[in-house]
Chains A and B, each alone.
Chain A
Amino acid sequence: DAMVIQNPRYQVTQFGKPVTLSCSQTLNHNVMYWYQQKSSQAPKLLFHYYDKDFNNEADTPDNFQSRRPNTSFCFLDIRSPGLGDAAMYLCATSRDGLAGINEQFFGPGTRLTVL
């Protein structure tokens, strides 16, 4: 089945130790997104790629970076995780832009714990 896959599902890191979260998709969608969701809150968009074009949200901290080496994969790098970065990180895709009738397809998320 076509899907969005996130690895690992659970990630534990130490304060200040770089960590990379992975997302892959078999949908061949043009757009890939990263969201941060803290407990009992709405998902918050960090950035997205439209094909190879990177679009950063204005309030995304510099500590968060992303790479999309090809259509299928997208990575979230947290350079120096702080305690406040503990959250669920959700990857999503859409076939094209969202202004029309395109929906987003979400992966199961990676829950990040920072010790």
Chain B
Amino acid sequence: SQQGEEDPQALSIQEGENATMNCSYKTSINNLQWYRQNSGRGLVHLILIRSNEREKHSGRLRVTLDTSKKSSSLLITASRAADTASYFCATVVNEKLTFGTGTRLTIIP
């Protein structure tokens, strides 16, 4: 299966701290995307990194991609209570997007 595995499955941190989530996958990809999902809602696209890119930034988000290790990480700096959500990595292979297992992030005020 191409499905990504995310680590950790759940993460609780204090507001203001940084949160790091990791994603591993199995085969070559076209790109990798990160999405956020608030409880019981749809997913929101956060950032896309192409297979020939190594790092991207968007506001407080930093994504890295290591294609040799088939892994990616999402860093959220200076976390806020509103960042509490589930975060999914998703890999694109041949036009198909496959989601990872997700990390449940809880920010403690």
Is B41's beta carbon under 8 Å from chain A?
A: yes
Is A87's beta carbon under 8 Å from chain B?
A: no
Q: Count A/B pairs, Cβ under 8 Å.
A: 60
- In the complex the two chains form, is B98's CB within 8 Å of A45's CB? yes
B51: shortest Cβ distance to chain A, in Å? Answer: 10
Chain B interface helix/strand/loop/mixed: strand
- In the complex the two chains form, is A109's CB within 8 Å of B33's CB? no
Q: Which interface class (under 10, 10 to 19, 20 to 34, 35 or more) fits B?
A: 20 to 34
Per-position contact with A for B30-56: 1 when CB-CB < 8 Å, else 0? Answer: 110101000011111100101000000
Q: Which segment of B13-21, B72-80, B99-107 sits at the interface?
A: B99-107
B75: shortest Cβ distance to chain A, in Å? Answer: 19
**A43–B43 CA distance with the chains assembled, in angstroms:** 10
Is A81's beta carbon under 8 Å from chain B?
A: no
Count how many chain A residues have C-beta atoms less than 8 Å from C-beta atoms of the other chain: 24
Chain A interface helix/strand/loop/mixed: loop
- In the complex the two chains form, is B97's CB within 8 Å of A42's CB? no
- In the complex the two chains form, is A88's CB within 8 Å of B40's CB? yes
Chain A residues whose C-beta falls within 8 Å of the C-beta of B69 in the assembled complex: none
15 more contacts with CB within 8 A, not counting A90-B42, A106-B43, are A41-B101, A42-B88, A42-B99, A42-B102, A43-B43, A45-B96, A88-B40, A90-B43, A92-B43, A97-B95, A98-B97, A101-B31, A101-B50, A104-B35, A106-B42
- Which positions in A face B, CB cutoff 8 Å? 4, 6, 33, 41-45, 88, 90, 92, 97-101, 103-109, 111
